[in-house]
Amino acid sequence: MDTHEYNADEITVLWKPKVCIRAGVCVKMLPKVYNPIDRPWIKTENATAEELKDQITKCPSGALSYKLNS
Ligand code: SF4
């Protein structure tokens, strides 16, 4: 499935647009990172890896996930 990758220092955020239900949980939790009208719409540099991980686990659809950079 189509997956977009957004690289940060410690982690890479993965987003599957076809799974996203546009619930906006990510936008409400981290508005400096997630801005649907901007490109790229996910700006990983505006939060810490911990903040990103905490938010990603709360995505209700599973569209967001992450992998640790080695
Ligand atoms: S929280 Fe998940 S489902 Fe909701 S808009 Fe963000 S990525 Fe999409």
Is any ligand 1 atom within 6 A of the Cβ of residue 25?
Answer: yes
* Residues 36, 17, 56, 34, Cα dihedral to 10°: -10
Does residue 70 or residue 56 have the better pLDDT? 56
Q: How many angstroms separate the CA atoms of 36 and 23, rounded?
A: 12
* Ligand 1 atom at shortest distance from the alpha carbon of 61: 3
Whether the per-residue pLDDT at 1 is higher than 90: the answer is no
User: Residue 18 sits in a domain of what CATH number?
Assistant: 3.30.70.20
Structure tokens at 4: 């977009």
Token pair of 70, please? 């080695």
**Structural domain boundaries, residue 60:** 4-68
For 19-67, the pLDDT digits (tens) are 999 999 999 999 999 999 999 999 999 999 999 999 999 999 999 999 9
Of the residues 20, 28, 53, 55, which should be mutated to test ligand 1's pocket, given the most ligand atoms within 8 Å of the CB?
Answer: 20
The model's pTM is: 0.94
Report the domain count for the chain. Answer: 1
